[in-house]
Amino acid sequence: METDTREVEGSAWSGLAEPIHVDAASRGDPPWRDNAFFSVWDPTIPAVCVVHCSTSPNAEGRRARASLWVAGRTAEVVEPLEPGAFSSASISVDLNGRIALDSDGARLHLDFEPRHAVGDFSDWAGIPSLGSLPRVRHFEGCATVRGHMTVGDIDVEVEGHGFRDRTWGFREDREMFLEHFAGGVCLSDFSVVFVKFLRDSGRTATTGFVLSDDARPVREVGLTRTASGLTAELRLTTEDGDEIVLAAERSLAGFWVPVGRDGVEVAYATYDEFVGLRTQGGEQGFGMIEHGVLRRLH
């Protein structure tokens, strides 16, 4: 079994533009998944959306999803994917930074430009693995996003920001995680991307980056929650000891994320929250924070 380890050359997106690994696994191997995730927000409209694709050469649960929320109206399209593809019947994904949707009642066309450096999580020992298999490779970054979105009869021009990630490797979330939170936040001069896992051993693992011209590693991430379990405050500490505290001002919208396959008794439930945040110095930012937890009762 050969795993495609081609490096991306000439792309400002670094590993976020990594091609799909079409021959990475065969029938009978553990599930291999190539995932690409794009999120967008323009709180001045207000509008948010997610395009999330997961394909595999050997596992069920291949799908492309576009979820849109524009001025209080929502639309969602979920379609099957072929092995080795991130584009479906209505959803088009270009890993160099362009996503599109053309369906009844919902359309979008959005261009992503790198906002800061890209965070490379691949060498982090805390990334969960599926048994003794190699850890998945994972990249995250934030973007400036422009284009348009349509839900029903509402059509808007978007000039906002976004968060995207790209992951590939042997992966089955319901066997690897008990809980996690992750995401990205854009501010005027920098962005932050982060992830924190709870493993079945009871141990946690945390990492992230403060992104500007370079990527400064984060050693600690903490989340204070509201009574409903969403974000009240986010705290990050860099390896240099700098602390960033972001207080949530409003949760604008959110989407449930289908992960893995249907029909299982144990599922990994994931929710993407779009939220405005403010630094202790009063600077306003906005971002997407994802909350995941294993549902075992059946």
CB 109 within 8 A of CB 100: yes
What is the CATH classification number for the domain harbouring 285? Answer: 2.40.370.10
Residue 87: band (very low, low, confident or very high) from pLDDT cuts 50, 70, 90: very high
Across the chain, mean pLDDT equals 91
pTM: 0.91
pLDDT of res. 173: 77
3-state percent helix, strand, coil for the chain, nearest multiple of 5? 5, 60, 40
Angle at 14 between CA 21 and CA 204, to 5 degrees: 80
Exposure of 217 in the CB half-sphere (CA atoms within 13 A): 10
CB 189 within 8 A of CB 290: no
Q: Look at residue 4 and tell me if it is in a domain.
A: no
Q: Look at residue 6 and tell me if it is in a domain.
A: no
Min mean pLDDT across 103-117, 120-134, 196-210, 255-269 is at 120-134
Domain count for the chain: 1
* pLDDT tens per residue across span 187-220: 999 999 999 999 877 789 899 999 999 999 999 9
Q: Look at residue 155 and tell me if it is in a domain.
A: yes
β-pairing, 119-120 vs 98-103, is unpaired
Q: Look at residue 3 and tell me if it is in a domain.
A: no
Q: How many C-beta atoms lie closer than 10 Å to residue 84's C-beta?
A: 16
Expressed as residue numbers, the domain containing 254 is 14-295
Q: Look at residue 7 and tell me if it is in a domain.
A: no
* pLDDT tens per residue across span 11-33: 789 999 999 999 999 999 999 99
Q: Would the pLDDT of 3 be above 50?
A: no
β-pairing, 267-279 vs 243-257, is antiparallel
pLDDT of res. 125: 66
Share of the chain above pLDDT 70, in %: 96
Helices marked H in the chain: 173-176
Q: Look at residue 160 and tell me if it is in a domain.
A: yes
Structure-token pair, residue 221: 């991430």
Q: Look at residue 145 and tell me if it is in a domain.
A: yes
Indicate the SS3 state at residue 15.
helix
Please name which of 67, 43, 64, 69 lies closest in space to residue 53, comparing C-alpha atoms: 64
Q: Would the pLDDT of 7 be above 50?
A: no
Q: Look at residue 146 and tell me if it is in a domain.
A: yes
